[in-house]
Amino acid sequence: MSAESSDDPGLAGERLLLAEQIASLYPGMLRFARTIVPSALAEDVVQETWIAVLKVANTFEGRSTLRTWIYAVLRNKARQALGREIRRRTVETEEAMDEGSPLAGRLHPPGHPEAGHWSVPPSARFIPEERAVTAELRNKVLEALEKLPQRQRSVVLLRDVEGFSAEEVCDLLDLDPGNQRILLHRGRAKLRAHIECYQFGRGCPDNESGSWL
């Protein structure tokens, strides 16, 4: 560790632990900040968050994990930076804003002899067993994630990239469990459809962009 040497081994160890904590959380915090503020502001928001956390760390009461607490501070800082309080959205609003399901037309309709079953089934899994995740596929998924609607992106990012629980995500984003579930389902569904179209040319949307995003 090159930052700030100290004659006190206890203090030096403490600083090393703090540096490691910052180093491990920083990239994920930047990703989360970018779901709330423009990318140009995200770096400042994360720095401000850490400064605030370091000032008030002794007020952390352990009622959530330290990471969830830090992310809650980050959320507040990002909202302040945005200059307005993000209002809680209802399930109905999200539903009204959402376009068609990527699975539309892939199952036999009512009345068909095989109603309730696939008409255009998924072709194959994305990563054959025992294969590593390729950089190309990873980048494609990351690009797609960036294009999801903001609330879906936040939920998928926190749940599937950062590994927060459903309850923690509800707290961080002021969502009720039902809305969190819908946003996660829709975000994942679009990402899955996008990658299926990219990898196998199947299930691609019939629109100008050729993308579900």
Partner 1 sequence: MKIGEQFDAAGAAAIDCIDFLPLVDDLLEIDDEGWDAQVVRHLEECPPCRIFLEQLQDLRRILRAQDDEALPLSDPRIRTLLIQACSTREDDPS
**Binding test (CB under 8 A) with partner 1, winner from 67, 160, 204, 211:** 160
d(CA 62, CA 194): 40
Say whether residue 177 binds partner 1 (CB under 8 A). no
Number of Cβ atoms within 10 Å of the Cβ of 21: 15
**Binding test (CB under 8 A) with partner 1, winner from 17, 23, 66, 104:** 23
With b meaning 16 or more CB within 10 Å and e meaning fewer, what string describes 39-65? eebbeebbebbbeebeeeeeeeeeebe
Say whether residue 145 binds partner 1 (CB under 8 A). yes
**Binding test (CB under 8 A) with partner 1, winner from 39, 123, 150, 207:** 123
**Binding test (CB under 8 A) with partner 1, winner from 13, 38, 100, 121:** 121
Residue 98 CB, nearest distance to partner 1 (Å)? 15
Residue 10 sits at the vertex; the CA angle it makes with 7 and 14, to the nearest 5 degrees, is 110
d(CA 181, CA 29): 22
Count of residues engaged in binding partner 1, rule: CB under 8 A: 53
Minimum CB distance to partner 1 smaller for 18 or for 91: 18
**Binding test (CB under 8 A) with partner 1, winner from 27, 38, 100, 210:** 27
In the DSSP assignment, the letter for residue 134 is P
**Binding test (CB under 8 A) with partner 1, winner from 138, 143, 178, 210:** 138
Helix (H, G, I), strand (E, B) or coil at 31: helix
Residue 137 has, within 13 A of its CA and on its CB side, a CA count of 14
- Using CB under 8 A, which residues numbered 40 to 59 contact partner 1? 47, 50-51, 54-55
Say whether residue 161 binds partner 1 (CB under 8 A). yes
Minimum CB distance to partner 1 smaller for 22 or for 82: 22
In the DSSP assignment, the letter for residue 180 is H
Residue 2 CB, nearest distance to partner 1 (Å)? 5
Q: Which whole-number Å values give the CA distances from 126 to 3, 179, 183, 200, 204, in the listed order?
A: 42, 28, 22, 9, 15
E-only strand ranges, the chain: none
Residues contributing to the site for partner 1 (CB under 8 A): 1-4, 15-16, 18-20, 22-24, 26-28, 47, 50-51, 54-55, 103, 107, 114, 116-118, 121-127, 133, 137-138, 141-142, 145, 156, 160-163, 166, 181, 184-185, 188, 191-192, 195-196
